[in-house]
Structure 1
Amino acid sequence: MKEQDRKQQKRITSIGGSALIEGIMMRGPKRTTVACRIDKDHIYTEDIEVKPLFKAKFWKLPLIRGIAGMIDSMRLSYKALGLAADKALEAGTVEEEEPSKFEKWLEKTFGDKLMNVVMVIASVLGIALALGLFVFLPAALFDWTLGGAFKVVDPATQAVSYTVAGQFVKSAFCGVLKIALFIGYMLLVSQMADMKRVFKYHGAEHKTIFCYENDEELTVENVRKQSRFHPRCGTSFLVVTLLVSIFVGLFIPVAPFGVKLLNPVFRLLLLPVMVGLGYEFIKLCGRHDNKLTRILATPGLWAQRITTKEPEDEMIECAIEAMKAVIPDDGSDIVNNCACATP
């Protein structure tokens, strides 16, 4: 059956979610629930909670709230992933490998705190890899390849800078390379069997939210016909943030104070600004539907063709269980009642 688009959407909810290992997490205004497929006839559900790190009003301000929200969402996602992984191991849907000597040493050394240690190490390594690939590598490649064509040297101070055209070209070069690296990584990951199932659960999450927003009964049949491309998706957030980085890069000197290596440092320091702007754009696209928001949402929706797949019925059932658990009785999740339309 052909997927429905947003033209039938009657309301917009603040409820969001994420795909897990054989499960779904749905986050509402009052509850966050994880639903995991244990076997063909059983879905395990559990509410989880992570206390916000940022409670002051300052962290609720536009641009700032994007940073705070991302950090808290990451903490919540880690907890949900850990729960889903544990349930998958218990159910036998994921096989547990024999621990190596190093893993045994870690378990003996850190005991019950091992998972927290692993999460911290994984986070640090992940951030370091992301910074290397998306901040320092693009800037270095431009300097090594095209930079010479735009270089300007001050005869008095020997300070190195670039022409205005060079600054624009570098920002565009780095932005396009970042997006290419991101898309290439997602394409590579999408070929893994386990990730294919996660991406199917991702599709089930989006379809279920759309079904609720279209004010239809949450049944497998109704969910199945919905679109799997949603504007408030994490994939869209990442793509929009990468696009924002191109714009922000126009205002960063190619060689601040005559030092080329300071360019990626400045980009790193401005990363919170890029994340904040990306969050505001996604929030805007999630709350409104007009020509501007359609343009902003389009690149992210294209990328979701990689990160979402058509789900199986049992995955949809899992998403429905999680969704029903977090829908508040007082309608506090509804952020906009509308007659939304997209072509």
Structure 2
Amino acid sequence: MSQNSRNIYGGQAVIEGVMFAGRHANVTAVRRKNNEIVFYEVPRTTKTWVQKLKKVPLVRGVVAILESSAKGSQHLNFSMETYAEDEVPPEKAEEQSEIKETKPEEKSGWSLSMVVGVAVAGIISFIVGKLVFTVVPAAVEELIFGRAFSNIIVHNLIEGGIKILFLLGYLYIISLTPLIKRLFQYHGAEHKVISAYEAGVDLTVANVQKFTRLHYRCGSSFMVFSVLVGVIVYSFFHWDSMWERIYIRVLLLPVVLGFSYEALRVTNSMRELPVLRYLGYPGLWLQKLTTKEPNDDQVAVSIASFNRMLELDRQGTPPQLVKV
């Protein structure tokens, strides 16, 4: 089966696992310390008005990003809870087990209020992080070079360079920690499985491992585009003080995100063209930091998550919220 005849899927690495988003459900598979693979399945339901917004150019990018942050945080939280349970000493695990047995209502999984709470927290975390990443480089550039020259474009280029340095430094530092390194390996496993599926090969560990860990549709590419697009968008607006400069950037943040999303869509759709394919290269280069080569066990978890997601898609009806 050709790639064009297949659905386009995306995913996300979580702690000791991978999440894939299907048409009817988002599925996470996590490997526990005893090598058991557990699943977390969330029905994929979207309000009608959200679906309409996702068809509007520029607006659909912001909607998709916020939706991804909300849903992704649920699965990340599940993986963190599972990881934390495995890290609990045996004696404490027995005590917690006894407590849970006295409260059977807690065995039913996440309540709706818990899911909504985690989703909102994920959106807020994304917004706060994006604001910090937008404001701090602008303030640093203004403090260092604010009176050095008056050319706005040069100021924006320097600001973009500072953002890139901040981003690379942050990713490099966190990649040195064992937990994040494994997270980046699962990120690589997610990309390999999607590439193998799009190539139409059987999803075996041996087949999947032959593919690259880099992928054009990755969110890492979006981060690069947001910096480059920001340089262009901000050049149309003049400021007279640092606070005015920061104020403008905060107001224009949705615009930058919207254009960045569209740019990512264009580069992905044209990646087979000899010249335009190079537009996606900066994002692929950044993925050399955000992904690592996975081992066979990590690829097996990614395959398990993807296959379960495909199984739910074939059933055609959204499942109930469940932890398996």
Q: How does the TM-score come out when normalised to structure 1?
A: 0.76
Evaluate the alpha carbon distance shift between residue 128 and residue 39 of structure 1 in structure 2; reply closer, same or farther with a 3 A threshold: closer
The 3-state SS of whatever aligns with 2:148 is helix
- Output aligned runs, 1:36-55, within 5 Å: 36-39=30-33, 41-49=35-43, 51-52=45-46, 54-55=49-50
- Greater Cα offset, 288-297 or 63-72: 288-297
Distance apart, 1:279 and its partner CA? 1.1
Aligned residue number for residue 214 of structure 2: 229
Give the greater-gyration-radius structure (CA): 1
CA distance in 1, matches of 2:62, 2:274: 27
CA distance in 1, matches of 2:56, 2:120: 28
Evaluate the alpha carbon distance shift between residue 264 and residue 42 of structure 1 in structure 2; reply closer, same or farther with a 3 A threshold: same
CA distance in 1, matches of 2:35, 2:214: 28
Aligned residue number for residue 153 of structure 1: none
CA distance in 1, matches of 2:114, 2:255: 34
CA distance in 2, matches of 1:94, 1:274: 43
Evaluate the alpha carbon distance shift between residue 129 and residue 236 of structure 1 in structure 2; reply closer, same or farther with a 3 A threshold: closer
CA contact (8 A) 1:196 1:309 kept: yes
CA distance in 2, matches of 1:122, 1:215: 34
2:247 corresponds to 1:265: yes
* CA-to-aligned-CA distance 1:128-187 (integer Å, 9 cap, x gap): 45423x33332233333222232xxxxxxxxxxx4xxx1111110111111110111000
Look up the equivalent residue of 2:27 and give its one-letter code. T
Q: How does the TM-score come out when normalised to structure 2?
A: 0.80
Evaluate the alpha carbon distance shift between residue 94 and residue 249 of structure 1 in structure 2; reply closer, same or farther with a 3 A threshold: farther
- Output aligned runs, 1:103-252, within 5 Å: 124=124, 127-128=127-128, 130-132=130-132, 134-150=133-149, 162=150, 166-252=151-237
CA distance in 1, matches of 2:23, 2:239: 43
Percent identity between the aligned chains? 32
- Work out which of the residue numbers 65, 83, 93 in structure 1 matches 2:78: 83
Evaluate the alpha carbon distance shift between residue 33 and residue 86 of structure 1 in structure 2; reply closer, same or farther with a 3 A threshold: same
Look up the equivalent residue of 2:249 and give its one-letter code. R
CA contact (8 A) 2:10 2:21 kept: yes
The 3-state SS of whatever aligns with 2:203 is coil
Aligned residue number for residue 295 of structure 1: 278
CA distance in 2, matches of 1:121, 1:280: 26
2:276 corresponds to 1:277: no
Aligned residue number for residue 56 of structure 2: 61
Evaluate the alpha carbon distance shift between residue 94 and residue 234 of structure 1 in structure 2; reply closer, same or farther with a 3 A threshold: farther
CA distance in 2, matches of 1:292, 1:93: 50
Q: How many residues align?
A: 290
Look up the equivalent residue of 1:131 and give its one-letter code. L
CA contact (8 A) 1:36 1:43 kept: yes
CA distance in 2, matches of 1:138, 1:309: 28
2:301 corresponds to 1:318: yes
Aligned residue number for residue 100 of structure 2: none
CA distance in 2, matches of 1:81, 1:189: 17
CA distance in 2, matches of 1:318, 1:330: 21
The 3-state SS of whatever aligns with 1:230 is coil
Distance apart, 1:82 and its partner CA? 1.5
Distance apart, 1:207 and its partner CA? 0.4
Root-mean-square deviation (CA, aligned residues, Å) is 2.9
Distance apart, 1:52 and its partner CA? 3.3
CA contact (8 A) 2:69 2:126 kept: no
CA distance in 2, matches of 1:315, 1:37: 8
- Work out which of the residue numbers 15, 24, 30 in structure 1 matches 2:9: 15
Evaluate the alpha carbon distance shift between residue 285 and residue 29 of structure 1 in structure 2; reply closer, same or farther with a 3 A threshold: farther
CA contact (8 A) 1:24 1:201 kept: yes
CA contact (8 A) 1:24 1:322 kept: yes
Structure number with the higher helix fraction is 2
Distance apart, 1:294 and its partner CA? 1.8
* CA-to-aligned-CA distance 1:247-274 (integer Å, 9 cap, x gap): 112112132xxx4421121111111111
Evaluate the alpha carbon distance shift between residue 94 and residue 308 of structure 1 in structure 2; reply closer, same or farther with a 3 A threshold: farther
- Output aligned runs, 1:16-31, within 5 Å: 16-31=10-25
The 3-state SS of whatever aligns with 2:215 is coil
* CA-to-aligned-CA distance 1:279-320 (integer Å, 9 cap, x gap): 112222333322454222101100000110010111101110
CA distance in 2, matches of 1:125, 1:330: 34
Evaluate the alpha carbon distance shift between residue 58 and residue 34 of structure 1 in structure 2; reply closer, same or farther with a 3 A threshold: closer
CA distance in 2, matches of 1:236, 1:89: 31
